[in-house]
Amino acid sequence: MATPVEVLRGIPMFQRLAPDDLAALGALLRERRFPKGAIVVSQGDPGDALYLISAGQLKVAVFAEDGREVILSVLAAGGFFGEMALLDDEPRSAHVIAMTDAVLLQLRREDFRARLRGSPDLGIALLRELSGRLRRADDTIASLALLDVNGRIATLLLDFARQEDGRRITRKLTHATIAQMVGASRETVSRAMRQFALRGAIAVNRREIVIMDPESLRGSAQRT
């Protein structure tokens, strides 16, 4: 299991921090464990902490009035959520649910703010991450509005691959999960994934999805 400082060092938001800042933050982290299916935070709960994912996989989701689940994101080790809670006093904007057994490191808002007063670089790192998240949210909105289903799936695959090494998606993405993220049926997603595989754009096995031909996927992701 990675140490708190190693987890911090693997998260882009913290990679530019000085070793002393990393060590000070690492000392503030508290480990929490959640079994598969557990609700880590609920939409509407007070937002009082940032969570770093040391192990496991989680989904960020909201529920429609008819009970339909909409998955906003799937997070894996090295990811994090709840960063907005470090700055504002607003409630949680979505549910976060463990898709597997998960180990998280919790950074409470009060601890972060106390550390922030002595580390301007930490504030800059957080603002940079929030800016990046806003840009990605804009891209997602544009994708849902302007692309057909194949284009939305291609965009999603490229984005998940970009979060890793650019070619592989190691987090577990079922067709049902992808369908909930792009606003389509599971059958439609299965058909699109089969088409991508047949034309050599992706290769799928039990452990990962490999992007074999990124340009082919980018072609599907072109807005019409």
d(CA 107, CA 52): 8
pLDDT category of residue 147 using cuts at 50, 70 and 90: confident
Q: What is the tens place of the pLDDT at every residue in 178-208?
A: 999 998 999 999 999 999 999 999 999 988 9
Residues 119 and 156 in one domain: no
Residues 13 and 117 in one domain: yes
Residues 133 and 166 in one domain: no
pLDDT value at residue 153: 94
Cα–Cα distances (Å) from 212 to 52, 62, 183, in that order, read 30, 32, 25
Is the pLDDT reported for residue 145 higher than 90?
no
Residues 129 and 153 in one domain: no
23-45 mean pLDDT: 94
Domain count, the chain: 2
Alpha helices (H) in the chain, listed in sequence order: 4-9, 19-26, 109-116, 120-146, 149-162, 175-182, 186-198, 214-220
Is the pLDDT reported for residue 146 higher than 80?
no
Residues 47 and 91 in one domain: yes
Smallest CA-to-CA distance from 110 within 89, 96, 127 is with 89
pLDDT value at residue 191: 96
Q: What is the tens place of the pLDDT at every residue in 148-159?
A: 999 999 999 998
Is the pLDDT reported for residue 167 higher than 60?
yes
Which CATH number does the domain housing residue 183 bear? 1.10.10.10
Among 79, 108, 139, residue at a domain's last position: 139
Residues 208 and 124 in one domain: no
pLDDT category of residue 131 using cuts at 50, 70 and 90: confident
d(CA 62, CA 69): 6
Distance in Å from the first CA to the final CA of the chain: 46
pLDDT value at residue 78: 85
- Return the SS3 of 223: coil
Q: What is the tens place of the pLDDT at every residue in 24-33?
A: 889 999 999 9
Among 82, 109, 139, residue at a domain's last position: 139
The pTM score is 0.80
Residues 184 and 126 in one domain: no
Residues 110 and 185 in one domain: no
Residues 158 and 100 in one domain: no
Burial 208-220 (b: 16+ CB within 10 A, else e): bbebeebebbeeb
Q: What is the tens place of the pLDDT at every residue in 65-98?
A: 787 888 999 999 888 898 887 778 788 989 999 9
pLDDT value at residue 57: 96
Is the pLDDT reported for residue 213 higher than 70?
yes
> Considering the chain, what is the average pLDDT of its residues?
88
Burial 96-132 (b: 16+ CB within 10 A, else e): bbbbeebbbbbbbbebbeebeeebeebbebbeebeee
190, 179 Cβ separation under 8 angstroms: no
Residues 21 and 125 in one domain: yes
The parent domain of residue 168 ranges over: 148-220
Is the pLDDT reported for residue 115 higher than 70?
yes
Residues 124 and 104 in one domain: yes
DSSP 125: H
Among 91, 109, 139, residue at a domain's last position: 139
Which CATH number does the domain housing residue 109 bear? 2.60.120.10
- Return the SS3 of 55: strand
The residue type found at 30 is R
Residues 72 and 105 in one domain: yes
Both structure tokens of 155? 């965009």
